[in-house]
Homo-oligomer: A and B are copies of this chain.
Amino acid sequence: MFNLYYLSTTTSARRQCIVLYNHCLRLRRFTMATKQDDNVLVPLSEAESFVERCMVAVGAKPSHAKDLATLLVCADYRGHFSHGMNRLSMYVEDIRSGTNAKDGEPVILKEMGGTAWVDGKNVLGPVVGRFCTDLAIKKAKEAGIGMVVAKGSNHFGIAGWYTMRCAEAGMLGMSFTNTSPLVVPTRAKKPVLGTNPLSLAAPAEKGDSFVLDMATSTVALGKIELNNMKEIPIPSGWGTDSNGQLTQNPSEVLQGGGLMALGGPEVLGGYKGYGLSMGVEILCGILAGSAFGPFVRHWTKKEEEANLGQCFIAINPEAFAPGFPGRMSTLMKECRTAEPAEGETEVLVAGDPERQHMKKVDEEGGVTYHRNLIQLMDKLAKDLTIEPMKPKA
């Protein structure tokens, strides 16, 4: 180790040596421990019904509760557990505390042939998002493209839920949202921007589709938290410490550091991810006139309205060259049948990992939740005096 340390001519190379050495030591300490019997199988319909029961119990309008239920269980069905039932307590709390409006509907503030500006009226994010998506689809049918931008919105869950709705209508869909500041601009010390996710979905033949749904940061905060809990280092490129330096220590990221934009350090193109994060903010907060950038509330700060900005685009492929789904299928096939790299077994396209997870859920007759989550949900049910979530018989 120290041979290499002294051979290294740059500070960053020396730092890399130390980090690598620590990584080796920690890897030896760490063993995974997840037991099969920690899992509980719940039918999708029961999971949805449970979310609805909770939300209605705290006073949410039944149709709003239904939108949220469909969205959260869709996330779990697709394997994005961080954005599913796991977040239910947050939505319940937002409604219960009055930070989120229980009732009302989004309203259109301004409209042109291909666009609309919407006030979400502080109702649940999925209600705003579905409203805007359906409006964008309607406009795309008439004008070839529809773009709807909303202010006054809230957490909208997985960005892919909205774009898949477009794909089901035969359209290309795009969605974007701003989020609380967590991402450090290239060369900066502290977070200014959010993980600002984007999604693009496009329909192919026979029900197949491309569904990209990604944060513009290298990883989501949850992954850093997970490594911190397990006491294992994070890969170099996920986060920075409180001085804006690359770190592999997850607690340094969580304590005054920040997430890196996609690409990581500048030499690996991190400034592009930083640009993308800012681009999403422009399409959301800056166009919408909502909170934006460093002015978006911290995601744990519940006393003020979120006033998030979001953007939804639907594109009608019939406005362009005929035969779109066929070409989509060909492109996806070219990627999927590409020869795997040494050590890999298959090449996927965006949406395939989710499809694999959905197949598993279908075969098992339900989604698998960890017992800890079930216990939290049982506690929530008791608290709200509603029927708890029933596992598969």
In the complex the two chains form, is B339's CB within 8 Å of A188's CB?
Answer: yes
Task: Determine whether A275 belongs to the interface, using a CB cutoff of 8 Å to chain B.
Answer: yes
Identify the interface centre among A187, A202, A271: most chain B CB within 10 Å of its CB. Answer: A187
Given known A286-B324, A341-B187, contact A335–B115 (CB-CB < 8 A): no
Q: In A283-338, which residues have CB < 8 Å from any B CB? A: 283, 285-289, 292-294, 315-317, 319-324, 327-328, 330-331, 334-335, 338
Q: Which residues of B contact A219 (CB under 8 A)?
A: 269
Task: Determine whether A151 belongs to the interface, using a CB cutoff of 8 Å to chain B.
Answer: yes
Given known A1-B3, A350-B275, contact A285–B327 (CB-CB < 8 A): yes
Mostly, the A contact residues are: mixed
In the complex the two chains form, is B321's CB within 8 Å of A289's CB?
Answer: yes
CA distance A269 to B269 in the complex (A): 12
Given known A317-B287, A331-B293, contact A275–B212 (CB-CB < 8 A): yes
The one of B1, B193, B245, B267 in contact with A235, judged by C-beta atoms closer than 8 angstroms, is B267
Q: In A242-284, which residues have CB < 8 Å from any B CB? A: 243-245, 262-264, 267-269, 271-276, 278-279, 281-283
In the complex the two chains form, is A328's CB within 8 Å of B286's CB?
Answer: yes
Return A151 CB to nearest CB of chain B, in Å. Answer: 7
In the complex the two chains form, is A240's CB within 8 Å of B341's CB?
Answer: yes
In the complex the two chains form, is A262's CB within 8 Å of B267's CB?
Answer: no
Return A307 CB to nearest CB of chain B, in Å. Answer: 12
CA distance A35 to B86 in the complex (A): 61
Return A326 CB to nearest CB of chain B, in Å. Answer: 10
Task: Determine whether A137 belongs to the interface, using a CB cutoff of 8 Å to chain B.
Answer: no
The one of B24, B110, B113, B244 in contact with A8, judged by C-beta atoms closer than 8 angstroms, is B24
CA distance A239 to B240 in the complex (A): 24
Given known A114-B113, A321-B117, A328-B286, contact A24–B7 (CB-CB < 8 A): yes
The one of B16, B267, B320, B349 in contact with A20, judged by C-beta atoms closer than 8 angstroms, is B16
Q: Which residues of B contact A294 (CB under 8 A)?
A: 334
The one of B189, B190, B292 in contact with A331, judged by C-beta atoms closer than 8 angstroms, is B292
Of A60-68, A139-147, A381-389, the one with at least 4 CB within 8 A of chain B = A139-147
CA distance A264 to B272 in the complex (A): 13
In the complex the two chains form, is B288's CB within 8 Å of A321's CB?
Answer: yes
Q: How large is the interface on A (under 10, 10 to 19, 20 to 34, 35 or more residues)?
A: 35 or more
CA distance A149 to B264 in the complex (A): 32
Return A336 CB to nearest CB of chain B, in Å. Answer: 9
In the complex the two chains form, is A282's CB within 8 Å of B8's CB?
Answer: no
Task: Determine whether A365 belongs to the interface, using a CB cutoff of 8 Å to chain B.
Answer: no
Q: In A95-123, which residues have CB < 8 Å from any B CB? A: 110, 112-115, 117
Return A305 CB to nearest CB of chain B, in Å. Answer: 16
CA distance A334 to B112 in the complex (A): 31
Task: Determine whether A362 belongs to the interface, using a CB cutoff of 8 Å to chain B.
Answer: no
In the complex the two chains form, is B341's CB within 8 Å of A245's CB?
Answer: yes
Task: Determine whether A214 belongs to the interface, using a CB cutoff of 8 Å to chain B.
Answer: yes
The one of B145, B244, B263, B347 in contact with A145, judged by C-beta atoms closer than 8 angstroms, is B145
Q: In A350-392, which residues have CB < 8 Å from any B CB? A: 350
In the complex the two chains form, is A348's CB within 8 Å of B1's CB?
Answer: no
CA distance A316 to B112 in the complex (A): 10
Task: Determine whether A182 belongs to the interface, using a CB cutoff of 8 Å to chain B.
Answer: no
CA distance A168 to B287 in the complex (A): 17
The one of B151, B273, B338 in contact with A189, judged by C-beta atoms closer than 8 angstroms, is B338
Q: Which residues of B contact A13 (CB under 8 A)?
A: 20, 23-24
Task: Determine whether A185 belongs to the interface, using a CB cutoff of 8 Å to chain B.
Answer: yes
Which 4 pairs between the two chains have the least Cβ-Cβ distance? A244-B341, A289-B321, A115-B144, A114-B114
